[in-house]
């Protein structure tokens, strides 16, 4: 309702509370949630169990032992926990979000609900926040399970800085989930059919996971001159490749997580020898420096979430409520 936006009265947040509570209750009591939880536990528990087994042999030799649970690449299952999450979180978010809006159309409840005193803003935002909360609850549960398992099996309490880094990792994971939730919700606003919106969201997810790295490579290759004559040229190419890769939320997530969980990480881009001057190889960065390092990544994730949400918001405002 672009014409009326300027003059309408009443808060756009009227009614957001009831929508949020109802959606949250729906999510938490749904069979789908059960399936997703099962899914994430299977996906998460497997790598964690294997990495724990391996870590028990190296106790004592590592200052950030606890964080290794998340990042180590176990011998039996060559998927670290974070990489499993990189893959599973979008799936979970899509599972929660692909029918948020169009199911209301299909159940013909939308016009009835919108004829109550609330704006569309509140409906959309309430649904999104409820989905995000559900996602956060599931991820926090998983996080706690991993932490608990680590405590039990390693018999070693984590240090404060490790807890802080792991918490940061949880927040980044929620933000990453938020991006995909916004994407799923976007498709649920655009398409009336839930199957189409689920397929589109999954398609985009597969695209970013499988095709995008290849496409980014191909694009970079197209810019490679016949002969690389200077270091600047080389760095420029590297940066182009990285910039393209970073369009995928998955890349932002893995980079942010890498810096958080591997305190030794000093840069997320190409590194020049001049930058290495005076650095002690393998020495961990303080938490503040790591956070500074991933700031762009985290901002990027949150910005992506907001941009996609705004797009669905604009489309939803213009949509006719007639089924």
Partner 1 sequence: MSDNVIEARGLLKLYGGARVVDAIDLSIRRGEIFGLLGPNGAGKTTTILMMLGLTEISGGSVNVLGFNPVRQPLEVKRRVGYLPDAVGFYDNLSARENLIYIARLLDIPRRETEARIMEALRSVDLADVADKRVATYSRGMRQRLGIAEIVMKKAEVAILDEPTSGLDPHATFELLEMIRRLKRGGVAVLLSSHLLDRVQSVCDRVALFNQGKIALMGTVVELANKVLGAGHPLLIEATGRDVSGTLGSIAGVRQVVSAGEGAWRVTADHDVRAEVAQRIVSAGGALTKLSDLQPSLEEVYTRYFQEARHAA
103 or 248: whose CB is closer to partner 1? Answer: 103
Element (H, E) at 114: helix 110-114
Cα(242)–Cα(220) distance, integer angstroms: 9
Cα(298)–Cα(123) distance, integer angstroms: 27
Rounded to whole angstroms, the maximal C-alpha distance in the chain is 67
Element (H, E) at 80: none
Pick out residues in 23-52 that bind partner 1 (CB under 8 A). Answer: 26
25 or 243: whose CB is closer to partner 1? Answer: 25
10 or 148: whose CB is closer to partner 1? Answer: 10
- Single out the residue of 53, 58, 76, 109 in contact with partner 1 (rule: CB under 8 A): 109
43 or 98: whose CB is closer to partner 1? Answer: 98
Q: Please choose, out of 11-19, 64-72, 273-281, 285-293, the segment that lies near partner 1 by the rule CB under 8 A.
A: 11-19
119 or 208: whose CB is closer to partner 1? Answer: 119
Binding residues for partner 1, total number by CB under 8 A: 31
Q: Please choose, out of 55-63, 110-118, 236-244, 288-296, the segment that lies near partner 1 by the rule CB under 8 A.
A: 110-118
- Single out the residue of 53, 76, 111, 275 in contact with partner 1 (rule: CB under 8 A): 111
Element (H, E) at 172: helix 160-190
- Residue 277 within binding range of partner 1, rule CB under 8 A: no
- Residue 129 within binding range of partner 1, rule CB under 8 A: no
Cα(95)–Cα(114) distance, integer angstroms: 25
- Residue 9 within binding range of partner 1, rule CB under 8 A: yes
- Comparing C-alpha atoms, which of 153, 164, 161, 120 is closest to residue 49? 153
Cα(88)–Cα(45) distance, integer angstroms: 12
Cα(273)–Cα(24) distance, integer angstroms: 51
Binding site for partner 1 (CB under 8 A): 1, 3-4, 7-10, 14-15, 17-19, 21-22, 26, 107-109, 111-119, 320-323
């Amino acid at each position: 309702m672009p014409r009326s936006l300027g003059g309408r009265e009443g808060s756009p947040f009227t009614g957001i509370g009831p929508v949020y509570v109802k959606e949250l209750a729906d999510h938490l009591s749904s069979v789908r949630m059960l399936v997703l939880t099962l899914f994430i536990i299977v996906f998460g528990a497997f790598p964690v169990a294997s990495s724990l087994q391996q870590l028990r042999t190296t106790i004592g030799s590592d200052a950030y032992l606890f964080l290794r649970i998340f990042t180590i690449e176990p011998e039996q299952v060559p998927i670290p926990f974070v990489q499993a999450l990189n893959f599973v979180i979008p799936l979970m978010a899509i599972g929660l979000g692909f029918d948020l809006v169009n199911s209301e159309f299909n159940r013909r409840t939308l016009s009835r609900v919108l004829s109550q005193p609330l704006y569309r803003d509140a409906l959309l935002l309430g649904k999104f926040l409820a989905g995000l909360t559900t996602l956060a609850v599931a991820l926090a549960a998983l996080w706690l399970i991993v932490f608990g398992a680590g405590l039990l099996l390693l018999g070693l309490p984590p240090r404060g800085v490790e807890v802080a880094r792991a918490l940061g990792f949880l927040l980044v994971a929620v933000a990453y989930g938020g991006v995909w939730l916004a994407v799923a919700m976007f498709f649920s606003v655009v398409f009336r059919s839930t199957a189409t919106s689920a397929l589109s969201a999954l398609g985009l997810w597969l695209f970013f996971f499988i095709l995008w790295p290849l496409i980014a490579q191909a694009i970079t290759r197209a810019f490679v001159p016949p002969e690389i004559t200077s270091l600047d040229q080389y760095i420029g190419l590297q940066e182009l490749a990285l910039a393209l890769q970073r369009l995928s939320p998955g890349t932002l997530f893995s980079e942010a997580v890498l810096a958080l969980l591997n305190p030794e990480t000093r840069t997320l881009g190409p590194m020049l020898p001049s930058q290495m001057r005076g650095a002690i190889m393998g020495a961990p960065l303080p938490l503040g420096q790591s956070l500074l390092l991933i700031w762009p990544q985290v901002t990027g994730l949150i910005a992506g979430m907001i941009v996609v949400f705004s797009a669905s918001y604009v489309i939803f405002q213009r949509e006719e409520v007639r089924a």
